[in-house]
Amino acid sequence: MNDYPRTIVPIDHVEPAARRIRAVLNGEMVLDTRNARYVWEWPHYPHYYIPFVDVNQEMLVDEQDVEQYSRGTARQYGLRVGDTYHPGVVRVHTEKSIEGLPDMVRFEWDALDAWFEEDEEVFVHPRDPYTRVEALRSTRHVRVELDGTLLAETRSPVLVFETGVPVRYYLNRTEVDLGRLTATDTITACPYKGRTSNYWSVRTDGTTHQDVAWAYDFPSHVLQPIAGMVCFFNERTDLIVDGERLTRPQTRWSR
């Protein structure tokens, strides 16, 4: 099963991003713009393109290399801030590019330390304006089991609905058998929820099931209802919701 939704936006579509976009490296502001554009380089989410005039050009190192890409011709630059140098991570599009991209700059996401939409940090990649994420309080009866062992049970979960992702069931920590969970060092990030604060493994019948649960202690403001709650992978545990055992979905998180 493909865990991504079918997109309503075609590849190479360009549209304005109606929000302030900033990014920093080594504590220095590399770009600051209110005129960014979304460009869908592939179907699942867009990338930011930044007007050249809104980039700190003193940090760019011209690598004297012009290359042809699917969206047009771009000049290659490195990025230098203090003692940090990232070669080939910046493209400045020329007039020989698709409509909307001449004089727009594309940065490799991981070349920057942090990206911000307005004053909120964004992780992994830009948020797709056509993806919807909601956290709704519920009174559904949810049980979480693994190898026949009850891990958690609640009648007051928070359900997270995210485009293209299975419904996630978040439970209060007091309703989770924390004695069966072992903390791990895993940290992940989500463009819509933020960065995780905890991951846990579960050991049942002599088998360790790695990273089956997680929590966001400080999620993005839209997902505040899940703060501090525990969620188990539908793909790796057995969920019984209102007496119905759910089929484990097949997604990129399945094992």
User: What span, in angstroms and rounded, lies between the C-alpha atoms of 105 and 128?
Assistant: 19
At 6 the pLDDT is 47
Of 93, 235, 79, 106, the residue nearest 167 (C-alpha): 235
- The pLDDT assigned to 44 comes to 86
CATH number listed for the domain at residues 133-245: 2.170.150.40
Contact 148, 136 (CB under 8 A): no
- Every domain of the chain and the residues it spans: 14-122, 133-245
Among residues 157, 160, 188, the alpha carbon closest in space to that of 173 is found at 157
Q: What is the per-residue pLDDT for 5?
A: 45
Given this model, what pLDDT does residue 4 score? 43
Non-local (6+) Cβ contacts of 10 within 8 A are 40
The β-bridge relationship of strands 72-81 and 84-97 is: antiparallel
How much is the pLDDT for 70?
A: 87
37 CB-near residues (< 8 Å, 6+ apart): 14, 15, 16, 17, 48, 49, 100, 101, 104
pLDDT number for residue 255: 79
Output the pLDDT for position 204: 87
Domain 14-122 fold is: 2.170.150
What pLDDT score was predicted for residue 7?
54
Angle at 138 between CA 155 and CA 214, to 5 degrees: 75
Q: What is the pLDDT of residue 111?
A: 98
Count of other CB atoms within 10 angstroms of residue 167: 14
Q: For every one of its 255 residues, what pLDDT tens digit does the chain have, with 9 covering 90 and above?
A: 334 444 578 999 999 999 999 999 999 999 999 999 999 998 889 999 999 999 999 999 999 999 998 899 999 999 999 999 999 999 999 999 999 999 999 999 999 999 999 999 999 999 999 999 999 999 999 999 999 999 999 999 999 999 889 999 999 999 999 999 999 999 999 999 999 999 999 988 888 999 999 999 999 999 999 999 999 999 999 999 999 999 999 999 987
3 state DSSP class of 174: helix
Q: Kindly report the pTM of this predicted structure.
A: 0.85
Do 14-122 and 133-245 come out as alike in CATH topology?
yes
Distances (CA, A) of 214 to 112, 188, 200, 223, 226: 26, 9, 6, 15, 11
Cβ atoms of 48 and 21 closer than 8 Å: yes
